[in-house]
Amino acid sequence: MSPVRNIYLDHSATTPTDPRVVEVMLPYFTQHFGNPVSVHHFGQKAESAIESARERIAHVLNCLPSEIIFTSGASESNNLALRGTLRPGDHRPVLTTHVEHPAVSRTAAELGDVGWLLVNEWGRASLVDIRVRTAARLVSLMYANNEVGSIHDLAGFSEAAHEIGAYLHSDAVQAGGQLSLDVQALGVDMLSLSAHKFYGPKGVGLLYVREGVELHAVQTGGSHERGLRAGTHNTPLIVGMALALELATTESESRIAHLTARRDELISGVLSRIPDVRLTGHPIERLPSHASFVIDGAESNTLLMHLDMQGVAASSGSACKTGNPEPSDVLLAMGYTAAEALTGLRLTVGLSTTQDDIDYAVDVLAHAVEKVRKVRQGVMTI
């Protein structure tokens, strides 16, 4: 084994903030700190920065600036999209899947009228399953799955949703910085993003809301963001998110090439070095940064501890599931057994990941799996 190194392979959970983003945010903490709704020049300076950020983000998303709603992150955006479409007396269901982020699936469950769409072995829903429904008020589907990396064809699902009189919302958190966010081409009515997934700051996100979509506020307070969100704008973080998204767009070609190369090296290394391992999610139509596996005989939470001791940061799936001994809901929905769903491992590469990092991580993982399996076999023998 090589000397212990620090290798971060959990970029789907969060990414480091780009130093260029940090630099552009700093003045808005100490110099241009005014409340954007204040009429004096301190407030006007902050307001100008926010509206400039809104226009720049709208350019990336190919939408109107007025269609961008700033939030504290994608969980808030998802809640606003789902709860904001609720109308008294409207018993049309929300259609979603069991492979969504809890900010969608749990919210939908709380709303009561929910229709659960089945997913296939790759974690993708079927257009047919929507078209056979008579009506719905909202369809909410992830653009790309956070646990297994599979990508949905949103353009096709938008057509299907509109055919039954529903809006299409997409939690596009994992897609930020890796897939096209052109909302016109995607056909979505609402789309959620979180800045810290594409090298921006934590604590800020957005909800794209297509003009004409009927949405009401789910918070009481000030009438910020067209009356759809209460709370003082976080000016520095909004400014940072705009730059992070611009950088992700302008540098997309080189970024995606790098991520795809490291991902493929990782998948190839794991599958060739470790027996009884299966890739989860779609083998081709998956995020450039994303590798995920089920590893027979190696429970993921135990494996994660061994990896961490050797400096490799990974995840058992969603960052919200890490440390939870329960089987992954995503893998269960995809048809894996409870025992298999306890062995899900997610390894996601980033812009700083090198080929040497991949070689080291694969070597560490191979040794860790061997050790965990031997311990398990010893316990079973006893």
Q: Of the residues 185, 320, 338, 339, which is catalytic?
A: 320
Q: Report pLDDT for 113.
A: 87
What domains, with CATH codes, occur in the chain? Answer: 7-16+251-381 (3.90.1150.10), 19-250 (3.40.640.10)
Task: List, for residues 123-141, the tens digit of each pLDDT value.
Answer: 999 999 998 888 899 999 9
Angstrom distance (rounded) from CA 6 to CA 311: 4
d(C-alpha 266, C-alpha 53), whole Å: 36
Q: 290 - beta bridge partners?
A: 348
Q: What is the pLDDT of residue 90?
A: 83
Q: What pLDDT score does 381 carry?
A: 47
Q: How many residues does the chain have?
A: 382
Cα separation, 120 vs 46, whole angstroms? 47
- 160, 193, 257: which is closest to 63 by C-alpha? 193
CA distances from 106 to 98, 141, 329 (A): 9, 13, 12
18 C-beta neighbours (distance < 10 Å), count = 19
Q: What is the pLDDT of residue 215?
A: 93
pLDDT of residue 278: 97
pLDDT in tens, 176-206: 999 999 999 999 999 999 999 999 999 999 9
Residue 214: closest CA among 336, 128, 90: 90
pTM recorded for the entire structure: 0.94
Residue 132, Cβ density class (10 Å: 0-12 exposed, 13-18 middle, ≥19 buried): exposed
Contacts of 281 (CB under 8 A, 6+ apart): 122, 123, 145, 147, 148, 149, 150, 290, 292
* Annotation says 63 is catalytic: no
Tell me the CA distances in angstroms from 178 to 131, 174, 181, one per residue in order.
Answer: 29, 8, 9
Q: What is 22-64 written as a DSSP string? A: HHHHTHHHHTS---TT-SSHHHHHHHHHHHHHHHHHHHHHTS-
Give the residue among 189, 228, 175, 207 at the shortest CA–CA distance from 57: 207
**175: nearest Cα among 210, 211, 150, 207:** 150
Cα dist. 229→36, 82, 93, 233, 303 in Å? 14, 14, 24, 10, 42
Alpha-carbon dihedral sign for residues 22, 24, 25, 30: positive
DSSP element (H, E) containing 357 = helix 355-381
Give average pLDDT by consecutive 10-residue segment, the chain, 382 residues.
85 98 97 89 92 98 98 96 88 93 94 92 94 91 97 96 96 97 98 98 98 90 86 95 98 98 98 97 97 96 95 80 74 96 97 98 97 79 44
Distance of CA 340 to the CA centre of its chain: 23
pLDDT of residue 286: 98
Where does residue 250 rank: exposed (0-12), middle (13-18), buried (19+ CB within 10 A)?
exposed
pLDDT at 321: 54
